Amino acid sequence: MAAHSTELTVTLAGGLFLRDAPIVDGPTLVLDVSRTGDRWERVWGFAGDFHINSPHPGRVVTGQISDDRIQLTLEMDIQSGSWARGGRATYKVDLKRETHGAATVRERSGAGAFHGTLPLADARGSVFSGTYAGEFRGVPVTGTATAAFKPAPASLAAGFVAPQPGEHPRLLFRKSNLAALREKAKTPLGEAALAKMGWSNEKETDVVGLGLKYQLTGDRKYAEKAILGVEKLMAGWLYCDQYGNNVGDRAAKMAIAFDLCHDAWPEAFKRRVRRYLLFVADNVWHHHRKMHQGINWHFCSNWSAPIHSGLGMSGLALWGEPGEEPAKPDAPNSGAVIPPASGYRPGKGVPVVTFQSDEMPNDWLCLSPLPWEETGDPLAPLGGVARAQPEPGPRVTFAGQTETFRRLTRETNGGYWAHTNYTRGEDALDITIVSRRVNFSHSYFFTVVSNDALRWVRIATDYGPAKLYLNGVSLKDGDSARLTPGLYPVMVHAPLDWCNSW
C-alpha cells in the first residue's frame, strides 16, 4: 500500500519582523507542511507582509500529529528582500484541536491516487490553535499559531478527458469544438460577431478577438496582428490603479491569446510571453509591495479577485509549457580559502579600496543596464562574469544593447544611495538608478579590495538575487571565506526584474 500523505497549512502570527525586533502585528509566516508516511517533506513558507513573499525553505526537525494535538519543531531559511533582511529562524509549535472533524489524507499509487484516512478521521474544517516560540535572526519571537488540514482535491467528472501537455487551444474551446464553431461563424450572428472582433486603438488591441478570428478562419494574419497587441499589454508591466484589476486583466487577455495563437506565434515570442506571465505571477504572489499599496489582497476581496483569476487563466494556458532550462548551480564555496589575484595590476581608472570590516567598498565601476531577454553571459568577451577584470571605457554589447563600464559618483543619481532607516545611513549601490529603471536588466559592479591581513569574512549583499565573485570564486549572501594579504578583484552581478517609476 502506498504511504499516507498529510498536508497542513500552519500560520505563525508575528513570526517575522522587518527591522531589528518583533513588533505588535508583525509579519505573519504561513507554512506548507506535509508528511508522506513517516517522512516529513520540505517546508515552504510565505509571508506577504515581509516585503518578499518568497518561498522560504525549511524543514521539520521533529513532528507529532495525534487526534487532538500537533507538535512541530521547525527550522527555516528566511530569504532577504529589497527592504527586509532574512536569516535563520527556528520555531517550536504546540497546537490543540479546536473543532473536531476529519483529517483527509491521500494514498498515492503510481499515476493514480485515492483517498484514505488517518486516525484523525475526516478533518475538513478542523482547526488547531495554540502558540509558538523560537528565534528569528537570533532574536526571540513568540505568538499565536493555527493549523488546518488541506482538503482533498475534487475528482474529475466522469468521461472528461484532460488536456495533454502541448494541446492548444484549450481555454475557451478545444480543437474538437472547432468544426461546429466554424459553422456557427457562417450564420448572420456569427458574421456580425466576427466583424466586431479584433478592434485596435492607440492604447490597446483586442488580442482575444484576433485569436478567435485566427482559429475560426485559419488565417495567420490575425495571430500576427495579435502580437502587436500583446506587446502593448506587456508594456504595462505591473502598473495598476489602487484596485490592481488591470494587472489581472492584462494577464487574462494575454493568456487566452497565447492559447489561441500558440501554433502561429514564433517560439521566441512565446518564450517572452511565458516569461512575462511568470514574472507577473511571481510578483503578485511574492512581492505585493511592488504594486499599488491600496490593493486589498484578501482572497475574498472583489478588488483582488480579477488579479488572481487572471493569473489562474495564465496558469491554465502555461500548463505543460517547457520551462527555462535552469542554470548549472555554482559549487558551494562557503568556507573556502580564496587567494588574491596573482600578478594582477589594476588598469587605469580601476578603483582600489582598502578592506574595511562591516563596510561596503566605497568606489565602484558599473556596467548597466543589459537586457536579460537572451540567455548567456554578457561578460563572456571579457573572460566571463567570474574572471572579468574590466577597466573604464570598453564597450560591451549583449542582446543588441551596448553599454560601458563607468565609474560611479556621489552626485545626484550617480549610483550610490543612503537612507537613515533602510541602509543605516551607509552608502548602498542603487540598482534602479544605475539601470535607468530599465526592467528585466542585468547590472554589474566591479572594484578591487586591498586586503592587508589573514582574516575570515562573511559576505553580506542584503539583496537576495545578487551574486558576488571574489577573485573568480562565486559567493552569495551569508557565505564565508578566508582571505590572505593581496589584491582581490570583486565583481557583483545584480539582476533587476521590475522597479517602480519613482
The rounded distance, in Å, linking the Cα atoms of 489 and 473 is 10
Contact between 370 and 442 under an 8 Å Cβ cutoff? The reply is yes
Tell me the C-alpha to C-alpha distance, in Å, between residue 445 and each of 96, 153, 292. 52, 48, 30
Distance CA 166, CA 179 (A): 20
Between CA 275 and CA 281, with CA 276 as vertex, the angle to 5 degrees is: 95
Q: How many CB atoms lie within 10 A of CB 345?
A: 8
* pLDDT reported for residue 2: 52
Cis before 361 (ω within 30): no
Cα separation, 28 vs 58, in Å, equals: 16
List C-alpha distances in Å: 489 to 342, 354, 467.
11, 12, 14
Q: Omega of the bond prior to 378 within 30 degrees of 0, cis?
A: no
Per-residue pLDDT of the chain (502 residues; tens, 9 = 90+): 455 688 999 999 999 998 889 988 888 999 999 999 889 999 999 887 776 667 899 999 999 998 899 999 999 999 886 677 889 999 999 999 986 544 433 333 333 332 333 334 344 457 899 999 999 999 999 999 999 998 877 788 888 888 888 999 999 999 999 999 999 999 999 999 999 999 888 778 999 999 999 999 999 999 999 999 999 999 887 777 766 778 889 999 999 999 999 999 999 899 889 988 998 888 887 777 667 777 777 667 887 888 889 999 999 999 998 877 777 777 788 888 999 999 999 999 999 999 999 899 999 999 999 987 667 889 999 999 999 999 998 899 988 889 999 999 888 777 877 766 666 777 888 888 888 888 778 999 999 999 999 999 999 887 878 899 999 999 988 899 999 999 999 999 999 877 766 5
**Residue 116 pLDDT:** 32
* Gyration radius from the chain CA atoms: 27
3-state secondary structure 288-311: HHHCCCCCCCCCCCCCCHHHHHHH
Cell of residue 414, nine digits: 550617480
* The pLDDT value given to residue 123: 45
CA distances from 329 to 350, 395, 444, 475 (A): 30, 28, 19, 12
Instruction: List CB contacts of 444: < 8 A, sequence separation 6 or more.
Output: 366, 367, 368, 370, 378, 379, 385, 405, 491, 492, 493, 494
Could you tell me the CA-to-CA distances from 319 to 59, 195, 259, 262, 399 in Å, in that order? 28, 31, 11, 13, 28
Q: Mapped to the 3 state alphabet, what secondary structure does 222-251 carry?
A: HHHHHHHHHHHHHCCCCCCCCCCHHHHHHH
Residue 70 φ then ψ, to 5°: -130, 130
Distance of CA 267 to the CA centre of its chain: 23
Structural domain boundaries of the chain? 4-149, 175-318, 336-496
Count of CB atoms within 10 A of residue 418's CB? 13
Three-state SS string over 13-77 comes to CCCCCCCCCCCCCCCCEEEEEEEECCEECCEEEECCCCCCCCCEEEEEEEEEECCCEEEEEEEEE
